[in-house]
Amino acid sequence: MPVIFRKEFRYHFSSMTGFVFLAVFWAASGVYFVLALLAAGSGDIKAFFAAFAPVLMFVLPLLTMRLYAEERNMRTEELLLSAPVSISSVILGKYAAAMAVFGIAVAPSLAFPFILAGLRAADFLSAAGCYTGLVLTASACISLGLLVSVCTESQTAAAAATYAVFLFMYLTGPQGGTAPSGFAGGAAAFFSLSARFAAFSYGVFSFADAFYYLSASALFIFLSVFALEDRRLA
């Protein structure tokens, strides 16, 4: 896994992928922070994360679309599958590298609560919950994007499929405004990754919601390993 992690992490910045992702993420987070909080004269950091959540679903496919599909484009898949490393190490290394790049993207925004504190409008408990929820949501979304990348033949197809899945999850969640009613609505809310972010934004550290995110991440990683193992044996 460490070898795959180093290879993947370097590749994010030896190509334009990592720089494009960071540039879009930093630009969007800065604009939303200014518009949602500073320009509005608000110190409620929940407003920033509520506005930024759809943007997160837009930028993450930029990071995940090439995680495995690039191996096919570069004709290195056979070399990777025949290398003396396990399939689980390949998947976990790629996942860890993507999470590391995401961590770099989020790091500058940690200054936002302190900027609000300078304006005497900070709620550090709510901020801690928001960042915890953000990392857990990103973990599940990145693992899902990795699964899509493993199951598709090109970066373009991986990006399009990941956008479609993220859009579906957002629209069927409560903030999407199109969630069905009754049993279907309850099921959609249960499986919506974004719906479970609300409790964290209020500084409530829900074990059930954290377990759901971690379980979803583990499930998508397991399915990625299974799909890649099946491909190697085919």
Domain that holds residue 225: 2-233
pTM: 0.87
3-state secondary structure 85-149: CCHHHHHHHHHHHHHHHHHHHHHHHHHHHHHHHHCCCCCHHHHHHHHHHHHHHHHHHHHHHHHHH
Q: Which residue has the higher pLDDT, 113 or 50?
A: 113
The per-residue pLDDT for range 60-88, each reduced to its tens digit, is 988 898 888 878 777 777 777 777 888 89
The per-residue pLDDT for range 19-47, each reduced to its tens digit, is 989 999 999 999 888 887 887 777 778 87
pLDDT value at 176 more than 60: no
- Please give the tally of structural domains in the chain: 1
pLDDT value at 200 more than 60: yes
The reported pLDDT for the residue numbered 220 is 94
pLDDT value at 177 more than 80: no
The reported pLDDT for the residue numbered 222 is 96
